[in-house]
Structure 1
Amino acid sequence: MARIQLSTITYGLLATAGVIAAATPAMAKKQSASGPVVQMSESFRASAHAADAAIKAGDAASAQGRIAALMPSSDFEAYVAAGLRFEVAVLRQDYQAQRIALTDMFKTSSVPKKDAPRLRYIAGYLSYVVGNNADALAQLDYAKTLGYDGIDATLLRADIYLRKNKPKEARPYVQEALARQRASGQPIPAAWYDRAISMAYAAGDWSEVGSLYRERLSLYGSAGEWRSALANYLTAPGMDSQVQLDLYRLQAANGAMASERDYQAYAQFAEKAGNHAEAKAIIEAGRAAGKLTSTQAATATLMKSVTPKAAKQIAALPAAAKKAASAKDGSAALAVADDYFSLSQFPQAVAQYRLALSKGGVDQGRANTRLGIALARSGDLPGGKAALAQVSGNWANVAGFWTVWIDQQSRKVAERPAISSPAS
């Protein structure tokens, strides 16, 4: 829901102490600096001032009694009385009464022109709060014709359509709000991203889901945020198992492995890819973290299967690398690179990915993605980012997620205090 701080919106109401105090017996009628004609009798001014003082003291009951006794005899006095009723309603958090008070204010001709657009937006917000969606939209339209078209109004329109169970109509307003906030240079609140992601998710727009999650993670990048983003994105239909594997690797790199399911799924994807040593290492890490137990059936069976295969995989690597060097294309080198990658032997993986790319005949997206990751994991963050920037097609989203990770690591490096050498 779009939100405003109702205790602060009375800045535009002339029914506050500034105007009330200004109306002295010597000024029966005077044009105020804000526009409306200030015309109050001495008795009305005194009663209004007393009501205003009670409001400022937080005494709603006393203020209500004083306001009820007011007998407005001019347009401006009617405006002031409605403004005071509004402020009492704010004090009592009575939204219906606030909305009625605003209607009474609009019936007068004393609403300052500079405040009218914002007040019409507030009227729309209050109508939304009390469940009058039709009037809420009407007030927002009116506010827009008067020149008020803030991002808060855009989000409120989205909320109204969501309440009307029209997510397709709501989504463009959320997208517009995010675009306008980006253009303003101001950070986008996490809740805005969550709303937009939910809508993109419901619409099956996985490209936007990924894009929004990456943007969100660039601002809100805790381990918990990473786990939530990747866990949700991994539910995308038809995702390649190799892509899924690299997303689980990213989750682990962020320290975001938080459950039995995380470790078990990662180990299963690694085993499916033929990375037996990696599957073994993940199960061991899950047990060390207390998320897996040695008696758990699924991972115990998997552990028994991959342990002997892991030893064979490692032993076969030198011969496989030698064979890849003389192969006619890069497919053998890509397989060797993937093996080194799975063993976290990243410098060796980098050399093999480069060999695979130079020979050709391989999936460029997969090779460049893993080359970029391996470079970054080896400590070459700029080189890793450059390699990932070349990725397109099915691997673009996973490359994008890893790019966010690289940017975060780069910021951490930049923030480290310089170590000065001891004086000689």
Structure 2
Amino acid sequence: MGNIVIDDRLKDESGAERLIVDAAVELASHGHNVHIFTAHHDKNRCFEETRAGTFPVTVYGDFLPRHIFYRLHAVCAYLRCIFVALCVLLMWSSFDVILADQVSVVIPLLKLKRSMKVVFYCHFPDMLLAQHTTLLRRLYRKPLDFLEELTTGMADMILVNSRFTASTFANTFRHLHAKGIRPSVLYPAVNVDQFGKPNSYMLNFLSINRFERKKNINLAVSAFAKLQKLKGGVLKNCSVADATLTIAGGYDKRLRENVEYLEELKSLAEREGVANSINFITSCSTAERNSLLSQCLCVLYTPKDEHFGIVPLEAMAAHKPVIACNSGGPVETVKNEVAGFLCDPTAEDFALAMAKFIQDPEMAKRMGEDARQHVIDSFSTKTFGQHLNQILLDVVKSKED
């Protein structure tokens, strides 16, 4: 069977792009002919699998802008993906199944070839990620939001990354829900084999996320500062003086928000008096990330209402427990008090959970082992590949019927 995967860009810093690469790798391992078409593929900042030659990666439209004076990002993304779709339609023969993600506007174009089925992976409704704060923004987003719902409903099958996103999908795309369109849940996965036994359990808390405000990394800084101030019976016979916090993640100096937010976090650390105990690492490689995971005590995952979140899976696969907000995707992936702790998104609640690991570092080891097994059982790439393979086979079978 021939499969095609379309994505706006392929770079090594996003869970959405990670899912597309995992899909391509797993489908290829099941014997399918996989071809990725994308508008951007930077070989210096991409997932290693896209350079390995297991499947071809073809780039169309990299010359098109990603923004116009740091504005109109959505329109530019639409234009880039439309260009990719048109190139595929005009320059390639038909494929059995098309797996598209993020930008639904390509769906009606791709369905012009009636022999092809289109599966759309909705990571989260884009209209909820966009700002609608001013009249001008609302006018700008109005046609885009309309197109998103209209074109998403044209897919032969819709997949989402969690039950939380499925619920949000129903509440957001009300017309589709009224028509009886229900997305299926296909959880993203993590390659557990890339993580070996941990080297140590240093008194280091680790946060891994892109330097974006929606990732709420300031919660990690504030919680770490609150941890330093805990008194009474919370930290009996324990000292937090040696505890450190590492904040690592995707960073692009060309993106204004990345630059501004990093400075905001550094300023917050200064105000909280913990700057000397916090290490900021920008755009670490996969090897560096794995090394950080191997040495930390636990991972702090701070986004609130995150639609899924791949970082908790990576942490648990690396034998490390996770402290995350008790909302969104982590509620479905992190077993509370087994693989970590689900907390209210407050510095106080996070600090109390962090204190438990300071008091009993052995608990981090026990939870880490349980977390690892949990990921193997439910969120491995093998499990993901089996589910996706069956989904696409069913879609093709429905075409033949």
- After TM superposition, is the score higher than 0.5? no
Which has the higher Rg, Structure 1 or Structure 2? 1
Which structure has the higher relative contact order (CA within 8 Å, separation 6+)? 2
Normalising by structure 2, we get a TM-score of 0.24
Structure number having the greater helix percentage = 1
Structure number having the greater strand percentage = 2
